Structure formats: structure tokens, C-alpha cells
Amino acid sequence: MIKQLRKRFIFIAMSSFFIVVFLIVGLTSLSYHVRVQKEIEENLSVIIENLDEIEHAEAHVYKTDIEGDTEKPIYQNRDNEGKDEIDEILNGVRFFTVTINAEGEMVAANTHNTRTVDEKKAEKIVSGLYREHKTEGYYKYRKYRAVNRGENTIYVFVNAKGQLKTCQTLIKNNIFSALVELLILIFPVWLFSGYVVKPVKESYEKQKTFITNAGHEIKTPLTIIDANTDVIELTTGESEWTRSTRNQIKRLSKLTEQLIMLAKLEEFEKLSQTDKVILSDMVTEVCEQFETVADKHNKQLKADIDPALMIQADADMLERMFSILLDNAVKYADDGTMIFVSLKKIGKNIVFEIENHAAGMKKGKHDELFERFYRADSSRNSATGGYGIGLSAAKTIAELHKGRITAHSVYDGIIKFQIFLKI
């Protein structure tokens, strides 16, 4: 229990740190990403809005040297008036444009302001986008948009590689830093968890010691009271009062035994010794033991057990667990109803199920039934001798065998317990 409490504390603490750190990282990264996208969009919009001015300015910067059928742009003096005008508009942004007609054929291409794309490559890129009917988006690290100009369409591409790479690097660095921070935090959180659960551990140990000692101390006066009752019956005969005394002795003796059993079970961290157990035979025998008790209470017990199901386990503990569940079903099942028991192999698990009618049970999970001293109906439990200990012990036994136990109601008024044990 203490180990589980400590693990739960570590899990909750680390989960809280994880949420806070990654929320900060996520918001920071998202904010930067949005800012970069906005900046790229603004650059693209500026170029589109100033296409005419850029073309006019480039007329002063470039001239054409015709050599055969080729056209070669010749760059002139940087101090040229047109060059200054381009620099003012672009502010260092690299781009290229491709103009196509209604048939998708390239009419013109401007690749003066990029170093990585020539006219042939530009034409190939735009042809692919035109065939796919794409007018806006990203092509690799280039943001593009198609603009209609009369009968032609101009595709404008802005190189955003530097900005996107910087954004990706920032996000990766943020995530890496967050992971490193979480890894560093694991040790102090683990260390601190020991101090947090220490008072609980001490209180829990004292509680177990008290339960064990009290159980043994109660046995002595119960034995004396039982002996005195025998003497009274020998001298005056059995009476209503002596029968009542014996019933109370039985109730207290059973409660004491269950408390001691639960305290001992919770001392185990793992099973010290296990053997091969034929579960099919064990469950069959336990069912046979409770058939008579069920008949006595006007209830029927029906079992569906697969043969030769085996598991490595503590036989005494498992028998006690199955007995607890059957005893619980026989006690609390509605009169005149059927109790269904099954044992099946499902995947890599052996699954034990027990289902019975129980008035008052609402549809849904009922994990509260496994809490120590829990009573769904205190008056009913008093009448049947329940103390809210048995199911808690059954859960402990299942967990010691690396299994799990559940309780749920598929319909109102029906409760089903399931135990999953790994083969």
C-alpha cells in the first residue's frame, strides 16, 4: 500500500510538472510559429501588392543580352536607383514569379531574386501545382500564392526556409529542454515522496500492529466467555440468553480472524512461494462447498468452468479469494435468484466471473466495494454478518498474484465481479 501511495504521488507530481512545462513550451512555440507565419504572409502580400513597382525597378537593374535564342540578364551597378527601390520593397526577401496563361503554359518567369531556382525549375514547379489545381500553400520551404492578372495567372513564391528552419529548431530545443527538466526533476520528486508518505507509513504500521495485537487480545476474553457460557448451560441449561451470547462470540471471532488475515496479507510485498495450481479443480470444489449453503437460502448456484486451467500461485490464498467471493454472493444475492460462476481462458489471462442479483445496485463501476470496512447497506450487512473486510482481502490477494479484480453492474440490480489472472 505504501509503495502504491508513493508511486501515485510521484505520478501525480510528475504529471503536473509535465502539463505545466509542456503547456509553457506549447504556448511559446505556438506563439513563435504564428508570428513566423504572419511574417511570411506579410512578405508575400508585400511582393504581390508591389509586383508592378518591382518590375519597373528591375528595368533599371537588368538588361537583356541576346545570344542566339537565349536571354541573359546582366546585373548593373548596385548604386543604381532601381536597385535601391527593390531593396526598399523586398527588405532582403528572396522570391521568384511565374506567369502562365489560361492553358497553363508559362508566359514569363522572374528568377532574378533567387539563387536556387532557374526558369526551367520554376516552370516545372508551377506546372505541377497548376495540374493539381493548387493556388496557395507551401512548396517545400517556399510559400506561394496564385494571383489573377487579366487572362494570365502569376504564381508568386517567397523563400521562407530560414524562418521555418529557425522555428523548427526553436520548437525542438524547447521540447528537448522540457524533457531534460523532467528527467532532472524525477530524482528530487522521488526523494521528496519518501518524506511525504513517511507519516502515512508510520501510521499504517501502527494500525497493522494494533489490529494484530488487538485481534490476539480479543481471543482470550472470547475463549473465557465461551467457557463460562458452557458452564452456565451445564448448570442451568441452554436458554435464549446463552444462545445469543454464543452468536455474538461467533461474530466477534470471525471479525477478529478477518482483521488478522487482512493485516497479514498486507504485510506481503510479493509471494514468497508458489506452486502449480489447477484452478478448474479448485473453483469446482469451492462451488460445491457453497451449493448447500445457497440451497438453504433459496438460491441456486450455476457454474461454467473450463477444464485443466492451471496457474503458478499460492493455492491457499486463491482458495480463500474464491471462497470470499462466493460467500459474498450467497449472502447478498436476492432470494430465489441464480448465482452464475464461470472460469475461462481469455487471451493470456484466466478470468473468473461471478454474477448475482443484488437489489439497490446501480449501473456502473463499484470499486468502492473493495475499500476496507465499506458497507453498501449497513443494516443488511449486520444481518448477514458482513464487516466490509472480505472483498478488500480478495483484492489484496489478486494484486499479490499480479492480477486485478473489478466490480461493475451492466444493469441495475445485477453485480458482476471479475478476476483477471495472468497465465
Q: How many CB atoms lie within 10 A of CB 258?
A: 19
The confidence band for 63, taking pLDDT boundaries of 50, 70 and 90, is very low
pLDDT at site 385: 52
Which of 339, 344, 303, 323 lies closest to 391, judged by CA?
323
Query: Which residues have CB under 8 Å from 277's CB, separation 6+?
Result: 310, 311, 312, 313, 315, 318
E strands, 88-230, are: 95-100, 106-110, 136-139, 142-149, 152-159
**Helix axis angle, 2-49 relative to 51-61, nearest 10°?**
60
Angle, alpha carbons 97-100-106 (nearest 5°)? 90
CA distance 293 to 331: 9
> In this model, does residue 404 exceed pLDDT 90?
yes
CA distance 287 to 303: 7
pLDDT at site 34: 92
Q: Which of 237-246, 341-350, 414-423 has the lowest mean pLDDT?
A: 237-246
Average pLDDT over residues 99-104: 86
* Cα–Cα distance list, 14 to 250, 341, 406 (Å): 49, 42, 27
The alpha carbon of 362 is separated from its chain's Cα centroid by a whole number of angstroms, namely: 26
User: 3-class SS at 150?
Assistant: coil
* Cα–Cα distance list, 103 to 36, 113, 127, 153, 277 (Å): 35, 26, 11, 10, 80
pLDDT at site 346: 92
The confidence band for 190, taking pLDDT boundaries of 50, 70 and 90, is confident
> In this model, does residue 73 exceed pLDDT 70?
no
Q: What is the pLDDT of residues 244-255, one digit of tens each?
A: 888 888 878 877
pLDDT at site 354: 95
Q: How many CB atoms lie within 10 A of CB 394?
A: 24
pLDDT at site 219: 77
CATH architecture under which domain 275-422 falls? 2-Layer Sandwich (3.30)
Does the domain at 93-157 match CATH 3.30.450.30? Answer given as: yes
Q: Which of 12-16, 161-165, 183-187, 198-202 has the lowest mean pLDDT?
A: 198-202
Average pLDDT over residues 387-398: 83
- Domain(s) labelled CATH 3.30.450.30 in the chain stretch across 93-157
Evaluate whether 90 touches 110 at the Cβ level (below 8 Å). Answer: no
Q: Phi and psi of 38, rounded to 5°?
A: -65, -40
* Cα–Cα distance list, 415 to 59, 130, 332, 397 (Å): 87, 65, 10, 20
Q: What is the pLDDT of residues 262-309, one digit of tens each?
A: 777 766 666 767 889 999 999 999 999 999 888 888 899 999 999 999
Of residues 169 and 269, more confidently modeled: 169
Place of cell 451470547: 245
Angle, alpha carbons 79-81-85 (nearest 5°)? 105
pLDDT at site 353: 95
Evaluate whether 213 touches 263 at the Cβ level (below 8 Å). Answer: no
Which of 287, 293, 303, 285 lies closest to 341, judged by CA?
303
Angle, alpha carbons 363-365-370 (nearest 5°)? 130
Average pLDDT over residues 331-342: 91
- Domain(s) labelled CATH 3.30.565.10 in the chain stretch across 275-422
Place of cell 465481479: 417
